[in-house]
Amino acid sequence: MSAARQPLPHESAHLHVAGEATYIDDIPESRGTLHCAIGMSTEAHALIQTLDLDAVRAAPGVVLVITAEDIPGVNDCGPILHDDPILADGEVHYVGQPVFAVIAESREQARAAARLGKISYKPLPALLTPRQAHAAGAYVIDPMSLTRGEPDKALSAAPHSLSGQFDVGGQEQFYLEGQICYIIPKEDDGFHVYSSTQHPTEMQHVVCHALNLSQHQVTVEMRRMGGGFGGKESQSAIFCGIAAVAAAKTGRPVKLRPDRDDDMLITGKRHGFAYDYEVGFDDEGRILAAKIDMIANAGFSADLSGPVATRAICHFDNAYYLENVAINAYCARTNTQSNTAFRGFGGPQGALAIELIIEDIARTLGKDPVDVRAVNYYGKQDRNVTPYGQVVKDNLLHELLPELLDSSDYSARRKAIADFNAGNSVLKKGLAVTPVKFGISFNVKHFNQAGALVHVYTDGSVLVNHGGAEMGQGLNTKVAQVVAHELGISLSRVRASAADTSKVANTSATAASTGSDLNGKAAEDAARQIRVRLAELAAELYDCKAADVVFADDKVTAGSTQIPFSELVATAYTHRVQLWSDGFYKTPGLSWDKDTLTGNPFYYFAYGAAVSEVVLDTLTGEWKLLRADLLHDAGNSINPAIDIGQIEGGYIQGMGWLTTEELCWNDKGLLTTHAPSTYKIPASNDCPPVFNTSLFKGENPADTVLKSKAVGEPPLLLGFSVYFALRDAVANARADNSHALYVAPASCEAMLNAIAK
Ligand code: MTE
Ligand code: HPA
Ligand code: MOS
């Protein structure tokens, strides 16, 4: 039996549950290790007038204090533009911005000393919300706009129209393992960097630039993260940059592990969005014209806001054909943390807007939103070109939705809920179905490449190294399964090793859900080359054709001979056959014109849909998710157990974003919700008592690794259904039964306000 397509446990599950999985803070510290803490800005926007760090230097255990001036190389950790100082240089742009760093003998000493800095500021005007920044014309990059058809003309000709405003908040990644970097100086000006990062190669670059080093001097190693969720795609760089300068200046190992509050104050989050929209539609609810301005809260610097906004533009259609459409996207420069990647990367923010519009069309026309969605889906033969020009070839929603509506008993429950609501004045139920279509590939073409290195040892065991980063998503398990499948051996023979820039060079971030698509293909390529060499040897030794040699069940069959895989490998070594190989992959067929915002940015689309039912207490705003039914397309899944975990996790994380996770900044620009005491992520008891999750059967028509589909991010959008179920309940609680909730998250307060409005 092949090791692929099996619901096998995560390769580290036995370590995770026993507390034995090594995270960076678990690595035994080298002798002489110092600890670093960060002194942060208390102003949202100001010039630094004086920086008095004498008390910090005099504090017990302090070895060194560094500021921007101490950075020997470039003071920048921006992944695209160079507008992201590692340490503030003369001006601060948000409350929490790193201004100086203290290096001490112990972590406690460093943290205590960091509080002793005396900084005087000359305050400057601060912009704290995306709408404020938009009104001031403050952006981190130029606005982007995409128009197809004649939206103005179609809008004025439409039988019905709606317009409105909607705002959605950001979201803290809340990886369980916080940001951390541990750097050990090596001989001859080399550095070994342990960073909890989705992007080891970018961390290598940042360290090199900050210290004026060549890339061969710096190795970044990353065995696993305790979650990244996008928050460690670029922003692990702040911590690598600071720790690198500290390690270089002291010549000693330096560890930088900010605590949760500091992590949340320093790092960027999912972009909150503000929207202004207009839509025209016919009696069936078919959208004839849509116009939207999307204002993303970029924070103080560009970071990844450009590609995030681009993905928001490319997901505004979600699953629907928009013949006449105008989308403007603005990356508003605010004096807050620099917002960054978070699962979905702008896709959720784009798609949420059209889903809200569809829900409003349905209420206006007195129709079931399911029917309004149905008339708007991309067609199979026609009405199948996205606003950016890519053809939707395989819209699975035509099959997937009926299957889900049936398995979730949607129609009967819709009636039962109407009856329940008619008989209850305090408790109101809500129900919603939302679909997702999510484009897979990095929207920067050259990032869509990966490398791998496979070693077969003489005992028949296999070590695979690839450019991807394990963050709990099961990437190493899937890649090992692919290698085992390719060599016809059991998974227990294959081990995946830590991502390491000295093994596979020039890697892309593990992001955009492409980890297994890219690295799985690269590892498959490497394993295949070894298999071909082994087959050639077996053919020669046992007198058959190489093409007829079969690798399966840890055995090799060549002609009439069958031998254990390990025996053939041992023989191959004595025949001087190369038993290791590199592998490479680049996604074919991608194109993107960033000036016109058109092309084929995605290799394929992944689909899914969810039905959620909630009950809302209209006196307190408390609510419960009663039941969820998820049906998601992972192509021909490499590991159904891991994929179901990703689907459920994504759904719950999406629910958190749109319900309980509320980021609040006060009028001084301080993020007041910077700890789990005030920032509420979903917990296990927020999962619904009835939770049905299935994989949609099928295979990827695109030539992906084992015909699977990426599954990391798309299911986050399934969580929309909880928000729209709550919004349904809120409308059902209102005297006029109209929609009144135009903000997300649907906090208790927001829902009570909407009921009262
Ligand atoms: N799952 C876990 N357990 N932890 C994570 O940090 N990150 C998500 C998703 N699933 C994440 C996760 C994000 S943002 C992405 S882009 C993908 O995993 C990245 O991994 P993949 O490309 O291998 O799916
Ligand atoms: N997702 C995540 N990271 C990225 C992307 C994307 O689409 N494009 C560039 N960086
Ligand atoms: Mo995921 S937001 O692309 O790291």
The 10s digit of each residue's pLDDT in 225-279 is 999 999 999 999 999 999 999 999 999 999 999 999 999 999 999 999 999 999 9
Angle at 744 between CA 739 and CA 749, to 5 degrees: 80
Kind plus residue range of the DSSP H or E element containing 186: strand 181-186
The response to whether residue 440 sits with its C-beta less than 6 Å from ligand 2 reads no
Q: What value does the mean pLDDT take over residues 296-322?
A: 98
Share of the chain above pLDDT 70, in %: 100
Atom of ligand 3 lying closest to residue 198 CA: 4
Contacts of 532 (CB under 8 A, 6+ apart): 546
Q: What value does the mean pLDDT take over residues 521-550?
A: 98
CA nearest to 237, candidates 212, 251, 250, 220: 220
**Strand 98-104 relative to strand 34-40: parallel, antiparallel, unpaired?**
antiparallel
Contacts of 9 (CB under 8 A, 6+ apart): 477, 641
Tens of pLDDT, residue by residue over 317-328, are 999 999 999 999
CA nearest to 248, candidates 452, 454, 66: 66
Q: Whose CA is nearest to atom 4 of ligand 3?
A: 230
Q: 284, 661, 713, 749: which is the annotated catalytic residue?
A: 713
CA nearest to 616, candidates 724, 519, 714: 724
- Best residue among 179, 229, 646 to mutate for probing ligand 1, ranked by most atoms within 8 Å of CB: 229
Say how many CA atoms lie within 13 Å of 112 toward its Cβ.
11
Instruction: Put the strands of the sheet holding 287-299 in their side by side order.
Output: 144-148, 325-333, 287-299, 273-281, 160-168, 743-744
Length of the chain counted residue by residue: 757
pLDDT score at 591: 97
pLDDT score at 583: 98
Q: What distance in angstroms lies between residue 56's CA and the mean position of ligand 2's atoms?
A: 40
User: Cα(343)–Cα(205) distance, rounded to whole angstroms?
Assistant: 24
Q: Cα-Cα-Cα-Cα dihedral of 504, 507, 509, 515, to 10°?
A: -60
- Best residue among 11, 232, 342, 343 to mutate for probing ligand 1, ranked by most atoms within 8 Å of CB: 343
Q: Confidence band (pLDDT; 50, 70, 90) for 368?
A: very high
Contact between 176 and 227 (Cβ < 8 Å): yes
List the structure tokens of 107: 């972590």
Q: Confidence band (pLDDT; 50, 70, 90) for 302?
A: very high
Contacts of 522 (CB under 8 A, 6+ apart): 450, 451, 452, 466, 467, 583, 584, 585
Q: Confidence band (pLDDT; 50, 70, 90) for 295?
A: very high
Active site residue 713: yes
Q: What distance in angstroms lies between residue 344's CA and the mean position of ligand 1's atoms?
A: 10
The response to whether residue 442 sits with its C-beta less than 6 Å from ligand 2 reads yes
The response to whether residue 511 sits with its C-beta less than 6 Å from ligand 2 reads yes
Q: What value does the mean pLDDT take over residues 409-418?
A: 98
List the structure tokens of 287: 């959208």
CA nearest to 468, candidates 98, 165, 200: 200
Tens of pLDDT, residue by residue over 643-656, are 999 999 999 999 99
Ligand nearest to the CA of 230: 3
The response to whether residue 443 sits with its C-beta less than 6 Å from ligand 2 reads yes
Give CA separation, 450 vs 68, 183, 467, 690, in Å: 35, 26, 6, 40
Q: Cα-Cα-Cα-Cα dihedral of 162, 165, 166, 167, to 10°?
A: 170
Q: What distance in angstroms lies between residue 711's CA and the mean position of ligand 1's atoms?
A: 8
Runs of H (alpha helix) within 78-136: 107-114, 130-135
Tens of pLDDT, residue by residue over 572-617, are 999 999 999 999 999 999 999 999 999 999 999 999 999 999 999 9
User: Cα(199)–Cα(303) distance, rounded to whole angstroms?
Assistant: 14
Atom of ligand 3 lying closest to residue 510 CA: 4
pLDDT score at 37: 98
Q: Confidence band (pLDDT; 50, 70, 90) for 434?
A: very high
Atom of ligand 3 lying closest to residue 342 CA: 2
User: Cα(146)–Cα(322) distance, rounded to whole angstroms?
Assistant: 12
Ligand 1 site residues, Cβ closer than 6 angstroms: 227-230, 343, 471-473, 475, 510-516, 646, 649, 710, 712-713
Atom of ligand 3 lying closest to residue 343 CA: 2
Q: Cα dihedral sign for 682, 685, 686, 692? A: positive
Q: Whose CA is nearest to atom 23 of ligand 1?
A: 515
Q: What distance in angstroms lies between residue 127's CA and the mean position of ligand 2's atoms?
A: 27
Amino acid at 709: K
Tokens 């103005």 — which residue?
A: 152
- Best residue among 202, 236, 345 to mutate for probing ligand 3, ranked by most atoms within 8 Å of CB: 345
Tens of pLDDT, residue by residue over 661-673, are 999 999 999 999 9
Contacts of 8 (CB under 8 A, 6+ apart): 477, 481, 491, 639, 641
Tens of pLDDT, residue by residue over 46-64, are 999 999 999 999 999 999 9
User: Cα(611)–Cα(722) distance, rounded to whole angstroms?
Assistant: 8
The response to whether residue 603 sits with its C-beta less than 6 Å from ligand 2 reads no
Peptide bond into 564 cis (omega under 30): no
pLDDT score at 147: 98
Q: Which domains does the chain have, with CATH numbers?
A: 13-17+449-586 (3.30.365.10), 32-124+179-225+232-266 (3.90.1170.50), 273-443+594-756 (3.30.365.10)
Q: Cα dihedral sign for 210, 211, 213, 217? A: negative
Q: Within 10 Å of residue 381's Cβ, how many Cβ atoms?
A: 5
Q: Confidence band (pLDDT; 50, 70, 90) for 392?
A: very high
Ligand nearest to the CA of 516: 1
Q: Confidence band (pLDDT; 50, 70, 90) for 378?
A: very high
Q: What distance in angstroms lies between residue 345's CA and the mean position of ligand 2's atoms?
A: 7
Amino acid at 213: L
> What is the pTM (predicted TM-score) of this model?
0.98
Ligand nearest to the CA of 309: 2
